[in-house]
Chains A and B, each alone.
Chain A
Amino acid sequence: MGTFSRRYQSLGIRGRILFSGISVIAAVLLATVSVMVVRSNTWFSKAAHNRLSTATELALLDLDTKAETKRKIIELVASDDDVVFNASVLHGAYADLDGSDLDESSQELCRDLGKKIKNASHVGDFDLIGIFGHKNQLLAFFDRRQQMTGFSTGSRYVTDGKSLYLSFSELPENIQLTLKIVENGQSSGYSRYGMGLAQTIVIPVRDVFDDRPEKIATIVGTTFVTDDYANQLSKASNTHVNFYHGSVLLAGEFRYIERLSDKTLDSLKNQWDKQDLDNRLSRLLWQETTINNESFTQALYPLYEINGEVGSLLVMHSNRSDQRNKRNTLWLMVLTALLVGGLGSILMVVSANQIVRPLKASLELSRLMAIGDLSSNENFDGIGGDEAEILRRTMLSSVKQLRDTLKGVTSATTDVDHMATALFGAVTEEMGIATEQASSVTEITATIEELSATSKQIAENSNQVLEIASTNLAETESGSEIVQNLMAKMDEINANNEESINKIVDLGKNSQEITKVIDLISGIADQTKLIAFNASIEASGAGDAGRRFGVVAMEIRRLANNVMESTSEIKERVHEIQTAVSQLVMASEKGSNGIRGGRDLAVATVNTLTGLVEDARSTSDAARQISMSTQQQKIANDQVVVSLREIAQGANNTADSINRTKQIANDLKELSRKLKDQVDRFKLE
């Protein structure tokens, strides 16, 4: 794009304006031509015309060679995809062509054609719902759901098993409906017309019975048409009317169609010479027509002597592909015109931009220079370009020269200023440091003197610490010995306690032995009592003689009772002793544990005291070391104080010299500032 732009620019201002103008004019011319071409139909209808003419010529070839003619027509119809099948015609043709007088290939074609027709579910490329009228009265309505195969006069419809053959004729004076109803192969009735046949095609009306169908065209097939008749028919039907020579073959029911007899044909031939007849026929045989807003080319093929009858074949040719071509061509032309026109406009805009931009830039540069602004940094390299561009580059070059010079001066001034400022800063800083140094030295001297006094104090204190540490060591050692003695005593107590516990347990065991003896005594007492009872009984049995014995027995019984009471009491006491022993054993165990804990504590104390002795010894050594060190430090401090006093004198002398240097730096800085003010009047960046 950039290359193209540069080349285009090299044409110069005049050249570019000329080029753009020519482009726009070419676009306008192209658009005009395309509209004119599209408006004329010549290009598009010619192909259809040729095709139908050929068909017509074929049909007229030889009136006597029936089979050959028919075969050619069939071939034509079968091969041409643009032919809209008029179902009625083809149905008729098929029905008529039983194949008896055809060769094998023609028979095959007929069968194929028959299938094609049978499969056709509509007439032409548009769906029709047939409405037949008599003086615009609705007579019958068929929609596709009732297996209607198409709308056409003489077509065969099958509804609920009934075959219905319908033909509708319309004449100025006398409109007739030809209707044949066939039920179970028997004709139940029909009507017919006189001079010709008119077929009315109506706009599809779906599901609205009340609306009248709109008639859009009338096709009339007739053997003879006068101008008066044509006019009358046109007015009557209020539509465009197509006339065809001969009877229009519209249905398989050929016998209902007006036939062109040999006699009539002969009379026609006599009436018109051969040349005239051909001209008339060819004029009548094809025609452009519009049905339902769609353009068709329709042609009549007059068929002479089919089955000894004269008929005609109506072929309608859809102009859809022609119209499509026409539309496509129109779109192509319009697009081309838009493209060329657009290109021309773009070129004009580009030209204007290329001229105006450098001029504007030059103007802006002049304005900036006037106010001292030299900061423009645009690139002025490159070659070629038009006059305005060269002007802009020259100006840019001048600005750059001037800017470079001023930049050098500015840079030098800035450097001087920076140096002066730096020098001033450094001197100021140095002066501060010198002053600070002098005061610091004084301060340090005072601090060191103070430190010297403190050192003396520390030396005295460390001597005292040394004495205390020695005393502490002696005391700790004696404490350790005492605790070790205590531990030995506790071991002795523990041993005694263990022995006591063992003895108490033995006591418990012995008391259990006592219980056994008591039980034995109790048993003996019980037996004694029993014997005493028997003695009493015997004494009682003896009467007065046994009275004294009875008293003795009673005494024995009392004694036995006493023994039993006593044993019971002893048993209680022994039980109490046993309980007490158990409690004593438990208490002794607890005491033993306490003694053991005390001993452990004593061991821990001995260990701690041993550690303490070590620590006290270390403390004593350290205190001695500190005492010696502080003495040495005191002497060193005194020497430092003398040296520092000499340093303080030197620092004061340095501060005076620096102060004089600072004054000179300040003068230099003022000078550089004045120079910079002069240069800053120009803007360079």
Chain B
Amino acid sequence: MKNPVDDLRQSLAGRPSQSLEETKESEFIIIRLGESLFALPLADVLQVVAVEKVYPVPGSPVHFLGVINVRSSIETVFNIKSFLGLQAQKENQTKGLLIAVTGLQTVMMVDDVLDILKVRDSDIHTTPRAPKSPVGRHLKGEFSWSSQSVMIINLSSVFAELADGK
């Protein structure tokens, strides 16, 4: 298996005319949800958490599975897959990302964490909005990573929708 970081290095090395200082870059963490790859801005991610057991809380909102203990702090567990309507294949999820956006903090369950990398803004393409599908509603852009398409989730819109209580 190729190391994605090496790939990135090689791609960067193939561009001698552009220095890192000259180009605006953002850091993303790449996750897998089912068959698809998604990216989250690294600035929103506080920690990668190993989730062993989730304690269910009666009366929780629809996409919240329960609570867990993260270093003596009680955090809610958010099922992003069900929220985005990606429930086709159920996997035994053991990893979660502790996320903090607009004052809200939660552990988002993912199928796998693949990599952390920097992407130039010019490499990010905007995706056409498809407001009717849950995935389409919350995408911010798209870039290519080791010849696969990675979609950037707009966490602000996700949490705005959660806050609206829809």
Contacts and interface: CB of A to CB of B under 8 A. Distances in A.
Interface of A: 527, 530, 533-534, 536-537, 540, 554, 557-558, 561, 565
Contacts of A537: 29, 42, 45-48, 116
Interface in B1-60: 1, 3, 5-6, 27, 29, 42-43, 45-48, 50
Interface string B121-137: 00000000000000000
Contacts of B47: 534, 537
A534 B29 CA distance: 11
A534 B42 CA distance: 11
B119 interface: no
B116 A530 contact: no
A534 B1 contact: no
B113 interface: yes
Contacts of B45: 537
A318 B54 CA distance: 141
Contacts of B113: 530, 533
A527 B5 contact: no
Contacts of B6: 558
Interface string B94-108: 010000000000000
Given A530-B48, A540-B116, A558 B42 contact: no
B interface SS class? strand
Given A530-B50, A533-B29, A558-B6, 4 more contacts: A533-B116, A536-B116, A537-B46, A558-B5
Contacts of A565: 1
Nearest to B48: A533
18 contacts: A527-B50, A530-B48, A530-B50, A533-B116, A537-B29, A537-B46, A537-B47, A537-B48, A537-B116, A540-B27, A540-B43, A540-B116, A554-B5, A558-B3, A558-B6, A561-B1, A561-B3, A565-B1
B131 to A, nearest CB: 32
Contact of B95 (A530, A536, A557): A530
Contacts of B95: 530
Contacts, number: 32
Closest A-B pairs by Cβ, 3 of them: A533-B48, A536-B116, A534-B48
A558 to B, nearest CB: 5
Interface residues of B, number: 16
Nearest to A565: B1
A523 to B, nearest CB: 11
A572 to B, nearest CB: 14
A533 B48 CA distance: 7
A533 B50 CA distance: 11
Nearest to A537: B45
A533 B27 CA distance: 13
| Residue in A530, A536, A537 whose Cβ sees the most chain B Cβ within 10 Å | A537
A540 B28 CA distance: 10
Nearest to A554: B5
Contacts of A554: 5, 116
A552 B29 CA distance: 17
A371 to B, nearest CB: 138
A181 to B, nearest CB: 125
Contacts of A527: 50
Contacts of A534: 47-48
Contacts of B3: 558, 561
Nearest to B50: A530
A565 B42 CA distance: 26
A603 B93 CA distance: 66
Contacts of A536: 116
A209 to B, nearest CB: 116
Nearest to A536: B116
B31 to A, nearest CB: 11
Contacts of A558: 3, 5-6
B42 A540 contact: yes
A554 B118 CA distance: 13
A216 B151 CA distance: 146
A10 to B, nearest CB: 144
A527 B6 CA distance: 22
A561 B3 CA distance: 8
A561 B116 CA distance: 13
Interface string B66-77: 000000000000
A533 B3 CA distance: 15
A554 B27 CA distance: 14
A203 B52 CA distance: 140
A536 B46 CA distance: 11
A416 to B, nearest CB: 135
Contacts of B43: 540
A564 B49 CA distance: 19
A47 to B, nearest CB: 138
Contacts of B46: 537
A114 to B, nearest CB: 126
A562 B73 CA distance: 33
Contacts of B116: 533, 536-537, 540, 554
B14 to A, nearest CB: 19
Nearest to B94: A526
B60 to A, nearest CB: 26
Nearest to A551: B5
B100 to A, nearest CB: 11
A575 B113 CA distance: 28
Contacts of B48: 530, 533-534, 537
| Residue in A536, A557, A565 whose Cβ sees the most chain B Cβ within 10 Å | A536
A508 B28 CA distance: 46
Contacts of A540: 27, 42-43, 116
A666 to B, nearest CB: 132
Contacts of B50: 527, 530
Nearest to B47: A534
A94 B87 CA distance: 131
Nearest to B46: A537
